[in-house]
Chains A and B, each alone.
Chain A
Amino acid sequence: MLSSVLLEASLTYGVAALGAGVAALAAGIGIGRIGGSALESIARQPEAVNDIRSSMILAAALVEGAAFFAMVIGLLVVLIIK
C-alpha cells in the first residue's frame, strides 16, 4: 500500500518532468522556426529589419506562453502531489 503510493508520487514527478520536457521541445521547434524565417526574411529584405524583429518577438512570446502553460501545470502537479 505504502509502496504503491510512493511509486505513484515518483511516477507523477517523472510524468510532470516529461510533460515540461515535451512542452520545451515543442516551444523550441516553434521558436526555432520563427527565428529561422525571420533571419531568412531579413536576408531578403534588410530594410524591413525593424518590423520583422518586433513581429518575431511577438510570435515568440505567444509560442512561449503556450509552453509556460505546460510548465505551470507540471509545477502544479508536483506541488500538489507533494
Chain B
Amino acid sequence: MANKINTFKHFLLILTMLISSFASFASEPTDNEPNANSTVSNEKVEDKVHEEGGFNAGKMILEHVADNHSWHLFGHISISLPVIVKTDKGIEVFSSSHFGHEGEEQYKGANYTYALHEGNVVVIDSQLGGIDEVATSSLSDFSITKNVAAMLFSMLLMLWIFLSVAKSANKNRGKAPKGLQSWIEPLIVFVRDDVAKPSIGKNYERFMPFLLTVFFFIWINNLLGLIPIFPGGSNLTGSISVAMVLAAFTLLITFFVANKHYWRHVFAMPGVPIPVLIILTPIEILGLFLRPFVLMIRLFANITAGHIISLAFFSLIFIFGEMNVGLGLGVSVLSLVFTIFMGALELLVAFLQAYVFALLSAIYFGAAVDEGHDVNHHHDHETVSAH
C-alpha cells in the first residue's frame, strides 16, 4: 500500500512539473509584450518563405491521406479524374485537368465558373472573382475522386478473384482446392468457423454473405492502400465516409434482424426496477449507436494512422536532406528500415482490422438474434454487454 502511494506521489510530481512547464511557457513572452509583436511577425514571414521554398511534411502527408480530384502517380504526372457536379442549374461533367496541376486554375463551365478551394469544388462569382457562397451551397459533388476510382478498381479485382474462385470451387467439389482457390478458401473457412459460428451460433449462415463481403472488402482495400504505386496507395478504408457506410450496414442489419428479446433488453431490461430503468434505458439506446460509431472510428483511425506513420518516416529523409545532403542520405537508411518494419506491422493491422470489424459485427448480430436461455431467467446479459 505504501509503495502504491509512493508511486502515486511520483506520478503527481511529474504531472505538476509538466503542467508548470507549460504554464511558464505560456506566461514568458507576455512580460515583454511591446517587443513581442515585431519579432513574432518577423518569424511568421520567415515561416512563410520556408513553407513556399522548402518541404512541408504536414501538408504533404495530409494531401496524400485525403481524397483528391486527381490521382498523383509520380513527379509531375497525375491522372485527371472526371468531376461531376450538380448545381441548381443542372449537372456538369468535366475533367479535373481543367483545374491545372496544382488545382490553382479556374474552369468556365456551361452554368458557372468552378475552382478548387482546399480540395473542394466551389463556384466562382464571375463579377467579383470570389467564392459564390449561395451557388456553392447548392452544389453537390458526385465526382469520381481518387477514393471512388480506387474503390471501382478494387471491386473489379474482387469480382475477378471471387468469380474465378467460385468457378473452381464448383469444378473441384470434393477435391483439394487449386490455384487462387487455395488462397481464398482457408480465409472463408476462417471467417465461418472463427468469426460467425462462435459469435452468432445457429442460423449463422444468413449473415455469412455480409460478413465475408465486409471482411474481404476491408482486407483487400487495406492491402491495396499499402501498395505505394498506382493503382494502390489511396487511403480508401482510412476515409471516414467509407468506414461510416460499412458501420451503418452493421447498424441497419442489427436493427432489421433484432428479435423481441433484444429490444426488450434495450428498452426495458427485465428484472430491473423502474427507477434504475430511467437511467439504464437512455444508456442502452446510446449504446446502440455508439457501437457502430466506434467501429467506424477504429477502422478510420487505424488505417489513417498507418498511412501517416509511413509517410512521416519518408518525410524525415527530406527534412534532414534540406539541412544537409549527407545527413539526408544517412537518415534515408534508417527511415527505410523503419518503414519496412512499419510495413510489416501494417500487413498485420490490415488483416486484424478486417477480422475485428467482421468479428464485432458478428457479435452484434449474435446479440440481436439471441433467443435467450430461459424465459423465466432474465439475468443473462453477457452477449449484450460487448461494446
Are A61 and B298 CB-contacts (below 8 A) given A54-B194, A54-B359? yes
Q: With A61-B298, A62-B387, A69-B297 known to touch, is A3 a contact of B36 (CB < 8 Å)?
A: yes
A-binding residues in B (CB < 8 A): 18, 22, 25-26, 29-30, 33, 36-37, 40-41, 44, 194, 198, 294, 297-298, 300-302, 305, 352, 355-356, 359-360, 386-387
Interface residues of A in 34-66 (CB under 8 A from B): 50, 54, 57-58, 61-62, 64-65
12 contacts between A and B (CB under 8 A): A2-B40, A3-B36, A7-B26, A7-B29, A15-B22, A58-B360, A65-B297, A68-B297, A68-B301, A68-B305, A69-B297, A72-B297
Chain B residues near A31: list those with CB within 8 A.
none
**Bound Cα distance from A7 to B24, whole angstroms:** 12
**In the complex, what's the smallest C-beta–C-beta distance from B48 to chain A, in angstroms?**
13
Question: What's the dominant secondary structure at chain B's contact region?
Answer: helix
How many angstroms between the C-alpha atoms of A50 and B197 in the bound complex? 14
Question: Inside 8 A of B33's CB, which chain A residues have their CB?
Answer: 3
List of A residues within 8 angstroms of B37 by Cβ: 1-3
A-B contact count (CB 8 A): 55
CB distance from A61 to the nearest CB of B (A): 4
Q: List chain A positions with a Cβ less than 8 A from chain B.
A: 1-4, 6-7, 11, 14-15, 18, 50, 54, 57-58, 61-62, 64-65, 68-69, 71-72
Tell me how far the C-beta of A55 lies from the nearest C-beta in chain B, rounded to whole angstroms: 10
Q: Residue A3 contacts which of B40, B297, B298, B300 (CB distance < 8 angstroms)?
A: B40
**Cα distance, A51 to B301, chains bound together (Å):** 27
* Chain A residues whose CB sits within 8 angstroms of the CB of B300 once the complex forms: 72
